[in-house]
Structure 1
Amino acid sequence: MSNSSSHGLAKSLSTFQLWGIAVGLVISGEYFGWSYGWASAGTLGFLITAGFVALMYGTFIFSFTELTTSIPHAGGPFEYSRRAFGPTGGYIAGFATLVEFVFAPPAIALAIGAYLNVQFPALDPKVAAVGAYLVFMTLNIVGVQIAATFELVVTLVAIIELLVFMGVVAPGFSVANLVKGGWSGQDTFSAASIPGMFAAIPFAIWFFLAIEGVAMAAEEAKDPKRSIPIAYIAGILTLLALALGVMVFAGGAGDWTKLANINDPLPQAMKLIVGENSGWLHMLVWLGLFGLVASFHGIILGYSRQIFALSRAGFLPAVLGTVHPTRRTPHLAILAGGAVGIAAIFSDELFTFNGQTLTANIVTMSVFGAIVMYIMSMASLFKLRRTEPGLERSFRAPLFPWSPGFALVGAVVCLITMVYYNPLIAGVFTGLMAVGYLYFLSTAKRRSGLLTAA
């Protein structure tokens, strides 16, 4: 791997900044997206779905950390799978990760637009979403140290705001509100509730989606073998606590059915308690943007490193694998991913189907990429344990093989369920993978030389 000025990333990230990235990448999932799961599973059914997904993520992160610290590479899952299964394995994991990280930002950008629309009804949410892209692509190009510091600050503000939300709605919380019709719209559990719980899996995953993106900043960490495990473990515990609190307090604030299938459930939940003219509500809308911005900004950092790594290895056009001569950031990769995201924002005809909104379907598309990547990563862990027993592992997955085994089985269950309930999106995902594979085959000669030098 070249360390020249055109291909080297700056090593400047501390443990605290990596924790900020880990939480910031995901924290928008506490602000929106998850409530779409209520439409399928109800509040109680979704709690069970979210519990299963949380257990899967917990075991996954503890296992994934072994890979991240053993192979600190900007490509993250792409590099682990390439090392375990060769170029084809690398392509599958790299494509899946790219879909996850390129399709998550437009969903978040649309939520940013929805939040701003609450304050400025005349502002088109899509125009606001494009504006968010332009601002935060620029910030990511300026420099990783500045970007990571900004990420840490907005993440801390976002956490404080979620705690404020819970405190404001707590006086009006009612268990009766939370449990009413809480099993797929029924007051009592029955066999008919189970399909809705499975259908809600993508929106439970949205609570934790992209935390693995810290792996893509591994090359820029000062001490990745020490700091990444701390960042991951502290990050997943932070997110678990926030996800549970947000779900329970929002569901108990009033008629939770009014919060399903919308992009701004927290302001609407608070409105049920304090009224639409309360200063608390306006504060939540403004400060709530910090949570969305934290994830949006962090995932831009993540997708740019994935595009950069894939390009540097010959899986994407070489021009995307260069860094800015003075800023040492992958500026062209940032712009390329942004162009795809902006196109997705205006892709109503492509992504509005299956009875779901544009945002819900973009979220599901991103989750498809994540789940395939999780499967490839856990399979890589098992393969590398067998084929490279001497690989330096400063952190080893606890309870091996049971912990990564559960993560692998859980991810497979999620994938099968998602294909069953979202066949059209699964078809789009598979079609894009097939087109990408044709490019992968056509660039084999160029890639063979690069792989030797990497």
Structure 2
Amino acid sequence: MPRSHPTTDPDPDSAGQGQLRRALGVPSLVCFGLVYMVPLTVFTTYGIVTEITGGRVPLAYVITLLAMVFTARSYAKMAGEMPFAGSAYTYTQKSFGAGIGFVAGWALLLDYLFLPMINYLVIGIYLSAAFPAISSWVFVLTAIILVTVLNIIGIVSVARANIVIIAAQAIFILTFAALGISAMAGTGTVDLAAPFTGDGTADGFGNVMAGAAVLCLSFLGFDAVSTLSEEAKDPKASVPRAIVIATITGGLIYILLSFLAQLVYPSNDFADVDSGALDVMAAAGGQFLTIFFTAAYVAGACGSALTSQASVSRILFAMGRDGVLPRGFFGRLSPRFHTPVLATLSVGVVSLLALAVDLGFISEMVSFGALIAFSAVNLSVIKHFIIDKGRRGTAAVLSFVVLPGIGFCLTLWLWTSLSPRTLLLGLIWLILGTGYLAFVTRGFRRPTPSLDLAE
């Protein structure tokens, strides 16, 4: 992919605050979203959600995809109107004001800061299982250093690495499907309805909703695409298209993989619930598939860490550029690499918390932040198009009220399905963010700085 010449601010007093490179087309953006989502992320919380839903992971994914399709459409609409870095933060602050925009951005930071931790944690879990003589923290630390360096070098290097990772996962998916179908054919007894009816260990639709709420973290890829608007070619057309394509493609892959996995291994009796996928792989293809899965999954986790760290660093850059976060630290680009180096390094440091947290907790916290941001974007569509732009008529009401309204209701339903512990800690995070905003604005006596959307 050819590099474009970067545009920098001619004012020497603003050195390091130039513009991001416009180097990404629709294929690269879709690839970025799919790698961020990680097609194999279905196995990240597979054991956990299998237990929660009583063996109904595919059904939970259907519900989550339904909610995410409406929300992805809202992101696409807003991305077409506001092709700038910042994602839900940008959309909400432009629609509802800088203060509410900050709260949405603060919630979004929660899932973006925690998502790299999930990837580093599972890298440690699976590589430690493959090489038990080496402690998991060694793998975690190595991955953090490698990912941080690649992100500092630039977004084009990340895009190129994504292509290789997607190819490896595609080959694994085909292999898993072939071996899984072959294994089931030899049993002679396959209940195709079981992944939707469950195994009886956790009855009730509430359990499916609780599982669906956790699975929201799987769909963060389309949101990540919107954070690269300032690095996309023709962002008003390419970013919306990539958002929808990545969401639908990723969701269908999740449903099919989880459906096949539960047919191959129709049980929630795992040796280790965090690495329950290994039991599925052993049942489908023995040691060969287990080794292949570990390699492909770790590669996918590295790719997701690459893209998630790239996204959160750009959100920090957007919030720093407008002065909500310290501008001198977060709002600067490296003169050499034209990437937000200090913001990227900060994410790497925070990711070290992966050494001290558990997978289930991180997964729910990521979903909490994501659902808050998703809800805000759905409401932003209504505010921006109906109230601010004055769109009228039946078509406008359907497009800019009914559809985003459905998306908002579905995300709110999923949000209330999270565990009480997650809701409590998430609300504490929002209170901390509001407190920081009060500090920045001197007790709300000063206006909250806003992004200069003309940049």
- The TM-score range, normalised by the shorter chain, is 0.7 to 0.9
Within 2, Cα distance between the matches of 1:118 and 1:61? Answer: 36
1:372 aligns with 2:372: yes
1:351 is aligned to: none
C-alpha change, 1:114 and 1:75, in structure 2 (3 Å) is same
* Pairwise CA distance, 1:66: 0.7
- Tell me what 1:16 maps to: 27
Q: Residue in 2 aligned with 1:186?
A: 200
In structure 2, C-alpha distance between the alignment counterparts of 1:373 and 1:49, rounded to whole Å: 21
Q: 1:139-171 deviations in whole A, cap 9, x for unaligned? A: 000011111221232123223322221222111
* Aligned position for 1:32: 44
- For 1:3 and 1:369, locate their aligned partners in 2 and report how far apart those are by CA, in whole Å: 33
Amino acid at match of 2:422: I
Q: Counterpart in 2 of 1:212?
A: 223
Q: How many pairs align?
A: 430
Aligned-partner Cα distance in 2 for 1:424–1:280:
37
Alpha-carbon shift at residue 329 of structure 1 (Å): 0.5
Q: Does the CA contact (< 8 Å) of 2:94 and 2:101 recur in 1?
A: yes
- Structure-to-structure mapping, 1:27-426, within 5 angstroms: 27=38, 28-44=40-56, 46-173=57-184, 176=190, 185-186=199-200, 192-259=203-270, 262-276=273-287, 279-318=288-327, 319-343=329-353, 345-348=354-357, 358-389=358-389, 399-418=399-418, 422-426=419-423
Higher mean Cα deviation, 237-246 or 299-308?
237-246
Amino acid at match of 2:34: V
- d(CA) in 1 for partners of 2:195, 2:229: 45
In the superposition, relative to structure 1, how do residues 248 and 403 fare at CA in structure 2: closer, same or farther (>3 Å)?
Answer: same
How far the C-alpha of 1:234 sits from its partner, in A, is: 2.1
Say which SS state the counterpart of residue 264 (structure 2) adopts: coil
Q: How many Å separate the matches in 2 of 1:220 and 1:42?
A: 43
Q: Which amino acid aligns with 2:318?
A: A
- Matches of 1:170 and 1:290, distance apart in 2: 24
1:115: Cα distance to partner? 1.8
Q: What is the letter of the counterpart of residue 386 of structure 1? A: I
Say whether the 8 Å CA contact 1:184–1:193 is kept in structure 2.
no
TM-score, L = length of structure 2: 0.87
Amino acid at match of 1:320: F
Residue 176 to residue 324, structure 1, CA distance change in 2 (3 Å) = same
- CA spacing shift, 1:107–1:347, aligned 2, 3 Å: same
Is the 1:177–1:256 contact (alpha carbons within 8 Å) kept by the matching residues of 2? no
Partner in structure 2 of residue 354 of structure 1: none
Deviation of the 1:259 alpha carbon: 4.6
CA contact (8 A) 2:58 2:195 kept: no
Q: Does 1:434 align with 2:431?
A: yes
Aligned to 1:353: none
SS in structure 2 opposite 1:222? Answer: coil
Q: CA deviation at 1:254?
A: 2.6
Partner of 1:352: none
2:386–2:400: 8 Å Cα contact kept in structure 1?
no
Residue identity matched to 2:425: V
Could you tell me how far 1:214 is from its partner in structure 2?
0.6
Report the aligned-residue RMSD.
Answer: 2.6
TM-score by length of 1: 0.88
Relative to 1, partners in 2 of residues 1:77 and 1:3: Cα closer, same or farther, differing over 3 Å?
farther
Secondary structure, aligned partner of 2:86: coil
The answer for the alignment partner of 1:355 in structure 2 is none
**Residue 80 to residue 53, structure 1, CA distance change in 2 (3 Å):** same
The answer for the alignment partner of 1:451 in structure 2 is: 450
Is the 1:143–1:328 Cα contact (8 Å) retained in structure 2? yes
- Equivalent pair of 2:213/2:415 in contact (CA under 8 Å): no
Aligned in 2, Cα 1:155/1:36: closer, same or farther, shift over 3 Å? same
Structure 1: segments with no counterpart, 5+ residues: 349-357
Structure 2 residue matching 1:323: 3-state secondary structure: coil
Residue 450 of structure 2 aligns to which amino acid in structure 1?
L
Separation of aligned partners in 2, 1:447 and 1:312: 18
Shift of 1:312: 1.1
Following the alignment from structure 2 to structure 1, what is the Cα–Cα distance between the partners of residues 205 and 304?
A: 31
**Unmatched 5+ stretches in structure 2:** 1-6, 10-14
SS class of match (1:252): helix
Shift of 1:202: 2.8
Cα contact 1:12–1:221 (8 A) shared by 2: yes
Residues in 2 aligned to 1:390 and 1:194: alpha-carbon distance in whole angstroms: 40
Q: Indicate conservation of the 8 Å contact 2:333/2:340, yes or no.
A: yes
Query: Residue 181 of structure 2 aligns to which amino acid in structure 1?
Result: A
Distance 1:121 1:73, change over 3 A: same
Cα distance in 2 for partners of 1:259, 1:149 equals 36
Q: Distance in 1 between matches of 2:321 and 2:235?
A: 21
Shift of 1:116: 1.0
In the aligned structure 1, how far is the partner of 2:47 from the partner of 2:228? 30
Using the TM superposition, give the Cα deviation of residue 183 of structure 1 relative to its aligned residue in structure 2, in angstroms: 5.1
